[in-house]
Amino acid sequence: MVATPIRISKNLQASAHQYLVDATSPNQSLLPLTAKVNDRDHLEIGGCDVVDLAKQFGTSLYIVDEQTLRAACQQYRDSFKKHYAGESLVIYASKAWNCLAICAIVASEGLGIDVVSGGELLTATQAGVPANKTYLHGNNKAVDELQMAIDCGVTVIVDNWEELRSLANLTKAAGKTTRIMLRLTPGIECHTHEYIKTGRIDSKFGFDRNQVDTVFDFVVANPSLDFVGLHAHIGSQIFELKPHEDLGGVMVNWLTKAKAKGLSITELNIGGGLGIRYTEQDDPPSIEDWTKVVCDSVMAACKAENIPLPKLISEPGRSLVGTSCITAYTVGGQKEIPEIRTYLSVDGGMSDNPRPITYESLYLAILANRMSEPLSETVTIAGKHCESGDVLIKDAKLPKAEFGDILVVMDTGAYNYSMSSNYNRIARPAAVLVNQGQAHLILERETLEDLLRHDRLPDYLKR
């Protein structure tokens, strides 16, 4: 089988070929970097025919391109080394997709991991992520999660007073010290969905900026808390650069206040938030452009305050893994409502991609088995769940679809698997990792028996 790269040409503008556009930054691509069309007119990812993968592993199916994921890791890592004069560390915000294989790939590229629960922490640990590169987040960490963090020796991003006091008591009782960073709310607005704005004053995350002095005083009084740095995060899926430029100055100002209290802070974590391209209209900055703005702002602020450069940490999630994955479905029934719309149903939906119904998120789709055919119809792609809102894409442009076609939704690497559910008792999909023509199963498809694994039927209800 021969696979050739596709470039846009005039006679292909009305087909799926238009989505296979060269991009130097993975977050600016609509499809994984290895996407090609082979001589069967099928979509190919990582050297693997998507139609063949669907037959082998079934649908719905997450398909992760290892090369795209590694390219994003390398661009973040190398851009910080290029543009920041001090020490830096990129840590993957693994809530975007946390499983053993994804964590292991990211760690192998020298990145750290940001986790937000005991389950994510266990996964990162089992994947071989070093403790000194693991950071525990969360706005309501349970006591057992805090104890797990102490035992594992990871850094805790402290979010609130209750957590700070609990951690101080736990470390004293254990006779240990624990590295902590304090999450502060910077009060910076950005244009993104209401639910993923985290940097504004009205946010559930982080200490209020007016509490900074009091928090610093508490840390000084509790030496079992090894206070190493400050953290802030302004939101997700952000295309603007100015908010991140402003954040650098705000954080360095806090760092200066901490030093005035006698605290020796060595790290600044500016969060993540860089967006990706979900539709043709999206135009996010490149990974390097975003990194340069962040680095320049922190260095300029440190120079103005005449203080040494701290270790600069960032937490990309979506922009690391989002474009590395596609989801393959099998087309089922159709319903045509004359002069209104045509519904095209697939064998998945809101249980494997809840973002459209949750955030009104937009996606693009193609037919993987007929890449060159004209985009001749406009349809609404509906999921199989018993919910009117289970619609993956409204007004999707596709060739004339037929029962059994393999439909692919692009850019499903972030918050699809991680937010998946068993709604309607539908089993979660499998996931495969593809690279150089090889496909490796990284998540087994759940079975119907798996859905009953934790059910318990009281004796008096048994027949």
Query: So which residues are the catalytic ones?
Result: 386
Q: Which residues contact 156 (CB under 8 A, 6 or more apart)?
A: 135, 136, 141, 146, 149, 167, 178, 179, 180, 181
Q: Tell me how far apart the alpha carbons of residues 416 and 426 are, in angstroms, rounded to a whole number.
A: 15
Residue 311: is it exposed, middle or buried by C-beta count within 10 angstroms (0-12/13-18/19+)?
A: middle
- How far apart, in Å, are the Cα atoms of 180 and each of 146, 188, 225, 301, 317? 11, 23, 6, 23, 21
Q: Tell me how far apart the alpha carbons of residues 68 and 273 are, in angstroms, rounded to a whole number.
A: 19
- How far apart, in Å, are the Cα atoms of 42 and each of 3, 106, 404, 430? 9, 29, 14, 21
What H or E segment, with its residue span, contains residue 118? helix 118-126
* Best CA proximity match to 259, nearest among 199, 306, 209: 306
* Best CA proximity match to 148, nearest among 161, 162, 126, 202: 126
Q: Tell me how far apart the alpha carbons of residues 101 and 400 are, in angstroms, rounded to a whole number.
A: 37
Give residue for tokens 């020298």: 110
> CB–CB of 183/161 below 8 Å?
no
